[in-house]
Amino acid sequence: MSAKAVKLADVAKAAGVSQGTASNVFSRPELVRAEVRARVEETARQLGYRGPDPRGRLLRAGKVNAIGVVVSDDLTYFFNDPFNREFMIGLASACDERGAGVSLISAANRATAAWSVETALVDGFIVQCMEDGDRLVELARKRGLPFVACDIDPGGEASSIRIDDRGGARMAAEHLLALGHRRFAILSLELRNDGRVGLVDRARRVSAEYAGTRDRLLGYGDAFAKAGIDIDTVAIVEAFNDPAGAAEGAAALLDAARDATAVLAMSDVAAIALLAEAKRRGIAVPQQLSVIGFDDVPEAAASSPRLTTIRQPIREKGRRAGALILAGGETRHELLPVQLIVRGTTAAPFAA
Amino acid sequence: MSAKAVKLADVAKAAGVSQGTASNVFSRPELVRAEVRARVEETARQLGYRGPDPRGRLLRAGKVNAIGVVVSDDLTYFFNDPFNREFMIGLASACDERGAGVSLISAANRATAAWSVETALVDGFIVQCMEDGDRLVELARKRGLPFVACDIDPGGEASSIRIDDRGGARMAAEHLLALGHRRFAILSLELRNDGRVGLVDRARRVSAEYAGTRDRLLGYGDAFAKAGIDIDTVAIVEAFNDPAGAAEGAAALLDAARDATAVLAMSDVAAIALLAEAKRRGIAVPQQLSVIGFDDVPEAAASSPRLTTIRQPIREKGRRAGALILAGGETRHELLPVQLIVRGTTAAPFAA
DNA sequence: CTGTTAGCGCCTTCAG
DNA sequence: CTGAAGGCGCTAACAG
């Protein structure tokens, strides 16, 4: 049909005006006399001009009006993972307010990840994942665009938004200690980016690289120490933070720590998987086993029994991350508070 | 710090090569002798060159490598609505395979919607919503980019992906009729874009504008007619398809149709809200009331009792929509099949 | 292999 | 209010 897209210059020539005037007709109509404007609009219509091409404008203006969100998983992760979903809702609301768009960028494929980040048309990045965070942060930084790192320490001069992981973990453990528990088990997030899962020994524990995981372990340890419990005596199982990985980890943990009366899970996804595994084994929660999660995703309030957990302001995180970028990317480090939410999965131990 | 971004030309000059060669160093390194390449890369580093700017490349090449998804709600809708979440997972998987990105575009704000669509940097659009679909389709069409409409009839020469709404609805009604039900009520999606909800009379029913809603009503009617039931005798309540709106609609429907033994809900979200309202009123499902949904979102299999529904291939829809755009936007109209999924919310009527 | 050149489509001075 | 001209940053085509 259309051999070649008609462009602004074509319209200008056909209408007998200069290109500058034609440009004004579309972008700043108030600067053009009504009759000229009408004539230009009419010729544009006849020629089938589709309006100013954003690409040309972009090159000139520089502002894309979109935020890129980088994760190290598939794009499907954005919609599957409850935590990320909440985060994106917060981010999306910040973008909505400012009329900005959101671009989803996956860095799952290591071969193409760099290219994706290098070529993404965005005004700034949000790196929202821990796995492989360093590499992504590095790529984003290289673009020279503002970016904010969530839940990881970006080092150098980049913004970050984190929560009080250590304090939250301590609160979780203290809650269980106050209920009278003394024999614990920990269902942990990944400690470092090597794909290993399963039982964690001391050497591995202290080798933790992911800041969030490390800090939560430290927080549990703080509480244990105050109660005279050696964290080296508590079973720790490391698991991937998706339903399948968590289910596997839950099974391994229940096998490894048969005498534990309480489990500290580092995410609600993990805790919910553990709840399912406990039910499968006929272990009554909270009567025979207390379980506490972390995050307070919406699913936590809907589980059965309803999950006791540490709430972090997930949506608020997203909002702030978006606002930080949209505001121009001034470097800031924010630490958001956490809060203990007691529901139905924790109680005093059966044989206290 | 950096007064002005350093660009390719600067690097080229500083390294004493032509701009073309410098370009090759970054985009097609194999064309450049190793020693020259090293020299250029070194100067680039010293100058703090951040790599080729995607904007310049974009203008030249024209391809953005991203798909825009337009909805008429907030961006938060993408992550909140179960149906859309599933759709996006399918779309995302198609994009992942081809290394394309996804841009989320909201047209909730009528004032800025046009601008958003006109300036979005994408290779094509997917319009995935019924509300205000026409206007969005029009905007997208104007851009002259490939686009595919989901669940709405775009008219003219644009692709569409739809499901057999009428057939699915008929199957739902026939299932209930086969169980022995004769007194029905319908919890309907919106009929047209005027914000009205509540009881639907005949005049309003036949005024349905949204193709999906209209066809589902027709499908129910087909089955009713065959059983000798006049659809004008069945209570129909129109409700917004979000948890709050559906809850309201569910309450109105149960008030209006106290003698109904079965409810046909046009979405699972609506059906699940109805389940909740029935429980609140002490109405046992399926003993006192049968409920059937539409869509088969993941939540349908997790409700209690588990929801009988009409399954449509939501993810497949997303996949195909994405594939259609990525393949270049050849005009096609696809009609996907639906399927009855019998679970626990339908049974023979109590007093048959 | 490397250098030169000509735009991609638009917007924004700067004169008139 | 309008016209002319330059350049945003890059790459492809072609000539050496």
Query: Number of A:B CB contacts under 8 A?
Result: 133
pLDDT digits (tens, 9 = 90+) for B201-253: 999 999 998 999 999 999 999 999 999 999 999 999 999 999 999 999 999 99
Confidence at B132, pLDDT banded by 50, 70, 90 = low
pLDDT digits (tens, 9 = 90+) for B47-102: 888 888 888 888 888 788 899 998 888 888 888 899 999 999 999 999 888 888 89
Residue spans in chain B of domains classed CATH 1.10.260: 8-52
Query: Does residue A1 have a pLDDT over 80?
Result: no
Per-range mean pLDDT, top range of A113-117, A250-254, B120-124 = A250-254
Question: What CATH code is assigned to A165-314?
Answer: 3.40.50.2300
Query: What per-residue confidence (pLDDT) applies to B162?
Result: 94
B298 is near strand C: CB distance < 7 Å: no
- Cα separations (Å) of A8 from A1, B56, B138, B241? 19, 19, 21, 43
pLDDT digits (tens, 9 = 90+) for B175-212: 999 999 999 999 999 999 899 999 999 999 999 989 99
Residues 44-83 of A with CB under 7 A from strand C: 51-53, 55-57, 59-61
Sheet holding A333-336, edge to edge: A333-336, A159-163, A147-150, A124-128, A66-71, A101-106, B101-106, B66-71, B124-128, B147-150, B159-163, B333-336
CATH fold label, B8-52: 434 Repressor (Amino-terminal Domain) (1.10.260)
Residue spans in chain B of domains classed CATH 3.40.50.2300: 61-163+315-336, 165-314
With beta carbons under 8 A apart, name residues in chain A contacting B143. 50-51
Which nucleotide does the CA of B9 lie closest to, via C1'?
D9
A39 is near strand D: CB distance < 7 Å: no
Angle between helices B19-27 and B8-15 (to 10 degrees): 110
What is the pTM for the complete model shown?
A: 0.88
pLDDT digits (tens, 9 = 90+) for A30-66: 888 888 889 998 998 888 888 888 888 888 877 788 9
Residues 6 or more apart whose CB falls under 8 angstroms from that of B104 comprise: A92, A101, A102, A103, A104, B68, B69, B71, B75, B78
Contact between B151 and B163 under an 8 Å Cβ cutoff? The reply is: yes
Residue at the smallest CA–C1' distance to nucleotide D11: B60
Q: Percentage of chain B surpassing pLDDT 90?
A: 61
Q: Do A74 and B96 touch (CB under 8 A)?
A: yes
Query: What per-residue confidence (pLDDT) applies to B3?
Result: 47
Q: Do B101 and A101 touch (CB under 8 A)?
A: no
Beta strands (DSSP E) in A77-204 are 101-106, 124-128, 147-150, 159-163, 184-188, 198-199
| Top CATH class, B61-163+315-336 | alpha beta
